[in-house]
Amino acid sequence: MKVKAFAKINLNLHIHPKKTGDQFTPLTLINHQINIFDELEFINQKNKIELICYPKNILPSGESNLVFQVALKLKEFSKNPKLGIKIILHKNIPITAGLAGGSSDAAATLKVLIKLWHLKISRQKLFEIARNLGKDVPYFLSSNLCYLTGYGDIPHKLKVKLPKIWLIIVYPNIEQKPSTGWMFQHLDFSLTGKSIYKEKLLLTAIKTKNQKNILDNLHNDFETMVFNCFPETQEIVNGLIAQKANTTLLSGSGLGIIGFFQAKTTAQKAYLSLKKNYSKIFLTSTV
């Protein structure tokens, strides 16, 4: 069996005021999948779990890989020691890019192995396993377009299809992206949650398929901090706007910047111009 595991972006990211003693920070998000994907191939075999990743030496192929962890957890759940699988992962989604490629791969593996191994598992148990693997995994088990609450790990399906939006995702020429934990540690929580009114406007725009209002109400609470700490990101924003992007948005906790375009031809011209200065740049669209 062969499947595609699509990347995602956040159309908004609202960070709610942090409560004293909380280990995690409450978030609300709206996620949408984009047309960048990994490819996974599953081959039945007995007893042994095996993972092969391409390109080689980019990802671990052992127990530190989420795909391998999924297979182990489901085999343990099945209580059948004879179960095995060979998984071949072709990695196309850039790693450490805030596009949740690892979580998408994990969710795809969950769905496929439950089917291949004929496992009977409740929705509650499935989502329990997913949340233990990572906060983004439950989203990929749900639907293409979701509103998420809790810590960004409780998906609510939005049963609409967005008009296609063209995207350019650009990453600054920085060797190593700070972790999401670092981003939260350096965030001024007194500045977060101020634009929560945009969330309702965005949900309404999505339900009515109003593309202009969708683009007008995108938001990410990490932006101010990221622009201050990493001025290269503001330069990318300026470059995208100069290339006629309708708007821009920080991708997740950074450091990628997404340019949103209504016209494919405009996006293509912008991509050709910007890729002269940025090696990590992608032209894609919503799925």
The residues annotated as belonging to the active site are 8, 136
How many CA atoms does the CB half-sphere of 55 hold within 13 Å?
A: 6
How many CA atoms does the CB half-sphere of 19 hold within 13 Å?
A: 6
**Do 42 and 61 meet the contact criterion of CB atoms below 8 Å apart?**
no
- Cβ atoms within 10 Å of 102's Cβ, excluding its own: 22
Q: Are strands 145-149 and 85-90 parallel, antiparallel or unpaired?
A: unpaired
Q: How far is Cα of residue 9 from the mean position of the Cα atoms in its chain?
A: 5
Between CA 121 and CA 219 the distance in angstroms is 37
- Of 8, 177, 31, 195, the residue nearest 103 (C-alpha): 8
- 90 SS3 class: strand
